[in-house]
């Protein structure tokens, strides 16, 4: 079982829809959870950063962490064509531990 | 623009050859990370350097090596290249030794094609 599972299937939604992405993980030591966004031919950039369980909201983006279920989610409200990108979840136990990334979800928002 | 510079952007070479990828971190960042990204494996951590010293090692093959120089730029050396080494290689940097108490800043990657 991989440390971080993210269904890499592409997702196409119409503009204005809610996008829902999620990852599951197996390492109970993970306590730092992030979502990175990667545009085509670019490097990943940090989108959301959450410590431990709970919700975090930033504009149209909401990150949720449920440590009891080892499940994290990213919601994008009122999606825009500019949100079309690959979204990667990442997590770590902290300290000198490396980030473990999911494979990424390609999201296409259709105008 | 993340401030992390990677060269070259594209590289095409033959099996058995050796290449060097270069990374200049953001000004002030002491840590450099190397990642390999492929469609089937996703983003795989290779190695991390902090202020010139190796800090952590991931799934890096013995044919690959890296170093961080006194001016903090880093090079990833890939030798005896195989077809399966074709991938995007990303460099990332962060201020501290751990990327988990701050964000990683990624370069735009070096796309390696091995023919």
**pLDDT tens, B32-77?**
999 999 988 889 999 999 999 998 898 899 999 999 999 999 999 9
In this predicted structure, what is the pLDDT of residue A96?
64
pLDDT, mean of residues A101-110: 94
Contact yes or no for B42 and A88 at CB 8 A: yes
CB-based burial, B68-99: b 16+ in 10 Å, e otherwise: beeebebbbebeebeeebbbbbbbbbbbebbb
Quick one: pLDDT band at residue B2, thresholds 50, 70, 90? Answer: confident
**pLDDT tens, B8-21?**
999 999 999 999 99
Quick one: pLDDT band at residue B94, thresholds 50, 70, 90? Answer: confident
> Does the pLDDT at position B98 exceed 80?
no
Which residue among B2, B97, B103 sits closest to A49, beta carbon to beta carbon? B103
Q: How far is B100 from chain A (nearest CA, A)?
A: 6
Backbone angles phi, psi at B23, to 5 degrees: -140, 130
Contacts of A70 (CB under 8 A, 6+ apart): A24, A25, A26, A28, A30
Contact yes or no for B103 and A34 at CB 8 A: yes
Q: How far is B87 from chain A (nearest CA, A)?
A: 13
> Does the pLDDT at position B105 exceed 60?
yes
Contact yes or no for B90 and A49 at CB 8 A: no
Average pLDDT, chain B: 92
Contact yes or no for B106 and A44 at CB 8 A: yes
Backbone angles phi, psi at B101, to 5 degrees: -105, 20
**Mutation target vs B (from A47, A58, A98, A102; most B CBs, 10 A cutoff):** A98
Paired tokens of A24: 């599951």
Contact yes or no for A34 and B98 at CB 8 A: no
């Amino acid at each position: 079982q991989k440390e971080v599972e993210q269904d890499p299937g592409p997702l196409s939604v119409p503009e204005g829809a809610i996008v829902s992405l999620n990852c599951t993980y197996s390492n109970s030591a993970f306590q730092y959870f992030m979502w990175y966004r990667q545009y085509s031919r670019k490097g990943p950039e940090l989108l959301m950063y959450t410590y431990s369980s709970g919700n975090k909201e930033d504009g149209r983006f909401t990150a949720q962490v449920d440590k009891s279920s080892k499940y994290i989610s990213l919601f994008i409200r009122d999606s825009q064509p500019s949100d079309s990108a690959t979204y990667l979840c990442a997590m770590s136990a902290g300290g000198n531990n490396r980030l473990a990334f999911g494979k990424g979800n390609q999201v296409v928002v259709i105008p | 623009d993340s401030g992390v510079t990677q060269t070259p952007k594209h590289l095409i070479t033959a099996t058995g050859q050796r290449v060097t990828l270069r990374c200049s971190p953001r000004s002030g960042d002491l840590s450099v990370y190397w990642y390999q990204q492929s469609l089937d494996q996703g983003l795989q951590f290779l190695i991390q350097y902090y202020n010139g010293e190796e800090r952590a090692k991931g799934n890096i093959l013995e044919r690959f090596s890296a170093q961080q120089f006194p001016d903090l730029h880093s090079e990833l050396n890939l030798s005896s290249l195989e077809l399966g080494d074709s991938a995007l290689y990303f460099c990332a940097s962060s201020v501290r030794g751990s990327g988990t108490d701050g964000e990683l800043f990624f370069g735009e990657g070096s796309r390696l094609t091995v023919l």
